Structure 1
Amino acid sequence: MTSTILLAGATGDLGQRIVRELLTHDAQLRVLTRPGSQTATTLFGHEERIEIVTAAYTDHAALTQAMTGVDVVVSAVNGLRSVIVDAQRALLKATVAAGVPRFIPSDYSADYRRIAPDSNRNFELRREFAADVDAAPVQATSILNGMFTDLLAGDAPMILWDRKRVLFWSSADQILDFTTKDDAARVTALAALDDNAPRVVEVAGSQVSAREVARTMTRLTGTPFKLQWAGTAGTLLAMSKAMKLASRSSDEPFPAWQGMQYFVSMFSGQAQLHHVDNDRYGAHEWTTVEDVLKARLAR
């Protein structure tokens, strides 16, 4: 039987990837868009299997109507409290009111469940909303995939390309979890179609240490990439808090100090994935850290 899936946040980077994956399966999609926005129509208006529905997150009746007859609601929204907590609470409330049996929240991260208080703003917002999800009469599935591998080739300041260094905090042997956005989107689509999906699905395209990243860079470039200790995870947390206090604005989802907090969670080991199940949805050729770095070097 064909599943009907409502996707919130479909016009974002990850959301568009989830849409592409779902369209490779026997599924009908509803894309939720805000009143006045034409982005969804521009992106998906040509696709006959996608229905575009309009509702404000503050309009409970419209949200509930948009979800009528839906089998699962998938959230890929991105932002801070007004989005991760407030907008998703509205989505969850409408999901329950419409009688939708399943809900996938916008997690797509490392394991935020065991991080120390006041150590990672974005993770704590996800943990706060997770408590609402757990209390709701709905079958929920969170996708935990570590850090997006794509960031290693871009904004994440772990590899100092010009200086031939790989930074680490506390231990160069701490295992770090990485998954590309495309692989995370694939798992999300398959979980959305899986009526028996568990509360949490953990995947990782690569589980590597900073030491292994340095060896990979050395092998790929033919030039020694050395490890550089940058302090402890505790030192990095203190630096992130100081930078946060000095910043003029805290309304960005990913300012530099938030990136530092992500590395705090990873290098402290608190956000490490311990129940990775890459085979849940069958054999798959995962894109590894080495694959992403090789592509970056080939540019």
Structure 2
Amino acid sequence: MNNTIVVAGATGNLGGRIVRELLKKGATVRVLVRPSSNREAVAKLESQGATVCTMHEWNVAELTEACRGAACVVSVLSGLHDVIVDAQKILLDAAVAAGVPRFIPSDFSLDFIPLPAGRNRNLDLRREFHTYLDKAPIAATTIFNGAFAELLTGDMPLVLTNIKRILYWGNADQRMDFTTMDNVATFTASAALDPTTPRYLHIAGDQVSARQMVTVAGDVTGQKFSLLRPGGLGLLSILIKIAHTVAPGGDDLYPAWQGMQYMRDMLDGRAEMKTLDNNRYPGIIWTTARDVLAAK
């Protein structure tokens, strides 16, 4: 079986983890980097056993040679339209030109398929790329993982430890999907080496509501938490529009309003993953929200 995998975006946080997991599984890994890529990250990838391919122009001709003979191209590119749409199109065209049979796009998000377009900028970019991807003569597999669980102790204003509150909008019993980057990386590496993957795969290390998070946070910290509901999703949508007007942040990948859009879509209900593919690759130990909070 061909186990050569090409990874674009390998110097990023998730990309580096995917390369690590691929190498652990015995894959031959080529990573696509630019001359401006972080030198320390590139050196680490090379020391781990990956073959570094420096792309000077990022055009179809150059990328085709780097992709030739691969079983799958995994994109973990991160950015706005110039990256998620424009650069990924070039990468996809190169994969097709090189005869690569499979492509995993840089989605790694909540399932935006049931959501209407025009309400989440970063998800809309992925949706736009999908219209191009789905017409390409290559088998594609999108991996939906909800939000990265690391956000529970990071930038997501959900667990407010300083005031012992769980912040939510709308329905306190609406479940949200969370998966750690390590779990995403392990699953993605397995999917990249699996020639039978379907168009979409859904995974979640945990599915937990705001009400359940009250219990989880209380158990982990030994302190009493309670719910904090500023309002419904309609009010949140209004606040998103205000934030976008006051601080557009058009060139920022994650301005404040983008995080607010993501939280609204997680609490909307339509993006909740009803069935999971967690058991597709046995042996993965899924990290729960409780595990993440306890490890802080």
> 1:34 Cα shift?
1.3
Corresponding residue for 1:72? Answer: 72
Q: Is the CA contact (8 Å cut-off) linking 1:146 and 1:179 kept in structure 2?
A: yes
Give TM-score scaled by structure 1 length.
Answer: 0.95
Tell me if 1:232 matches 2:229: no
Task: State the distance in 2 between where 1:105 and 1:38 align.
Answer: 22
Task: State the distance in 2 between where 1:58 and 1:193 align.
Answer: 25
> 1:117 Cα shift?
2.6
Corresponding residue for 2:45? Answer: 44
> 1:2 Cα shift?
4.5
> 1:282 Cα shift?
1.2
Task: State the distance in 2 between where 1:128 and 1:38 align.
Answer: 29
Tell me if 1:212 matches 2:180: no
Q: Is the CA contact (8 Å cut-off) linking 2:11 and 2:38 kept in structure 1?
A: no
Task: State the distance in 2 between where 1:57 and 1:265 align.
Answer: 37
Which runs of 5 or more residues in structure 2 are unaligned? none
> 1:145 Cα shift?
0.5
Deviates more, 1:213-222 or 1:172-181: 213-222
Shift of the 187–109 alpha-carbon distance from structure 1 to 2, 3 Å rule, reads: same
Task: State the distance in 1 between where 2:249 and 2:15 align.
Answer: 26
> 1:250 Cα shift?
1.3
What secondary structure sits across from 2:134 in the alignment?
A: helix
Q: Is the CA contact (8 Å cut-off) linking 1:57 and 1:90 kept in structure 2?
A: no
Question: What pairs up with 1:266-277 in 2 under 5 angstroms?
Answer: 266-277=266-277
Q: Is the CA contact (8 Å cut-off) linking 2:8 and 2:33 kept in structure 1?
A: yes
Corresponding residue for 2:162? Answer: 162
What is the RMSD of the two structures over their aligned residues, measured on CA atoms?
1.4
What secondary structure sits across from 1:29 in the alignment?
A: strand
Task: State the distance in 2 between where 1:222 and 1:25 align.
Answer: 40
Corresponding residue for 1:81? Answer: 81
Task: State the distance in 1 between where 2:51 and 2:271 align.
Answer: 37
Corresponding residue for 1:245? Answer: 245
Tell me if 1:135 matches 2:160: no
Corresponding residue for 2:3? Answer: 3
Task: State the distance in 1 between where 2:126 and 2:270 align.
Answer: 15
Task: State the distance in 2 between where 1:237 and 1:43 align.
Answer: 42
Per-residue deviation, residues 152-174 of structure 1 (Å, max 9, x unmatched): 01111111111000011110000
Q: Is the CA contact (8 Å cut-off) linking 2:11 and 2:37 kept in structure 1?
A: no
Question: What pairs up with 1:106-145 in 2 under 5 angstroms?
Answer: 106-145=106-145
Deviates more, 1:54-63 or 1:100-109: 54-63
What secondary structure sits across from 2:293 in the alignment?
A: helix
Which runs of 5 or more residues in structure 1 are unaligned? none
Q: Matched residues, percent identical? A: 48
Aligned length: 295
Give TM-score scaled by structure 2 length.
Answer: 0.96
